[in-house]
Structures are given as structure tokens and as C-alpha cells.
Amino acid sequence: MPQADPVPLALPVPLPGPVDWAWLRYASLALDDLYDLLALRSAVFSVEQNCAYLDPDGVDRQCWHLLGRGAQGQLMAYLRGVDPGAKYAEASIGRVITAPVARGTGLGRQLVAEGLRRMDTTWPGVALRISAQAHLDRFYAGFGFAAVGGQYMEDNIPHIEMLRPAP
């Protein structure tokens, strides 16, 4: 059976309907899950945003991975939930992505809400610290994150650290 296009850059018409979410520990990712999430991260951070860092940074092994797939199995949304102590003392989320075709449809908000719900269940009573692209500060503030400290440059993009206290 032909596999879905790993990175849905071209518009699948109509726009993706309901998204099917999977929350998987690194060791439980299928080969196609790993391929698709690395392809999407690479398409967005390396190609679209031209970030000069090694995306598979070794932290993935200490993460949960949230994959949102469309009706044809295409990966439409992704983030990773980082264990406390792996990146920060607190838990974290990162590599927050919606496929370019799905931007502005509300999927990003759905993705972060789903990710935080899963993190709160996986790590009850644990705070989250993130390094957010600065222009998204209001987006993350809507989920209870507050800026800590000032802006800094990371991968040539202004970033800000944000903290969400333990629920």
C-alpha cells in the first residue's frame, strides 16, 4: 500500500478533517512514525525556518511524542513532551508544528491543548518550562505560560523562556 506523503506541503482538498492523536514513548514509535515526524520537523525547522541546529538532538529518547494524523494518515501536527530533568528541571514541550497546509485552521491550538492535557496526565503536578519563539508569546500565554526573563536569540530567531506553573 502506498504510504502517505510524509510532509503534507501541497494542499489536500478539502482541508484535513478530524485529526487522530497518538501519544507515544520514543521506544514505541513505529518506523513510519519516526520517519514522518523527523521529515516534518526537518521540513519546518531546517527548510522553512532555516534553523542551523541538529534537529535529532538525542533528547527525543526522553520524550513522549504527540502525532496528529489526518484521514489519509498524513502527519498534520506534532510536538514532543520532554521529561522533567531532560532539558529543564521542569517538564517541557517543544518542536511544536502544524503542517504548512493546516496553518491558521485552529489545529495549532488543538495540538498544544492536547499536548498539555497529555503532559498533565503523564506528569501530574509538574510545571512546564519552554523556549518559545517570541512572536508566539500570546499564543502560549493563552495556555497559562508566563514569560520569565527577556528575549534571546536562538537559531537566529528571537526566543523567550516561558513557565507554566504546576496545575
Ligand X SMILES: CC(C)(COP(=O)(O)OP(=O)(O)OC[C@H]1O[C@@H](n2cnc3c(N)ncnc32)[C@H](O)[C@@H]1OP(=O)(O)O)[C@@H](O)C(=O)NCCC(=O)NCCS
Residues that bind ligand X (CB under 6 A): 44, 96-98, 102-109, 132-133, 135-136, 138-139
Q: How far is the CB of 135 from ligand X (least distance, A)?
A: 5
Distance CA 7, CA 112 (A): 20
Whichever of 33 and 159 has its CB closer to ligand X, that residue is 159
Whichever of 117 and 135 has its CB closer to ligand X, that residue is 135
b/e map of 24-63 (b: 16 or more CB within 10 Å)?
beeeebeeebeebbeebbebbbeeeeebeeeeeeebbebb
Contacts of 76 (CB under 8 A, 6+ apart): 8, 16, 19, 68, 69, 70, 98, 99, 101, 102, 107
Q: How many CB atoms sit inside 10 A of residue 140's CB?
A: 21
Q: How far is the CB of 116 from ligand X (least distance, A)?
A: 14
Whichever of 124 and 146 has its CB closer to ligand X, that residue is 146
Q: How far is the CB of 59 from ligand X (least distance, A)?
A: 15
Select the residue whose beta carbon is closest to ligand X and give its number.
108
Whichever of 14 and 125 has its CB closer to ligand X, that residue is 14
Q: How far is the CB of 159 from ligand X (least distance, A)?
A: 8
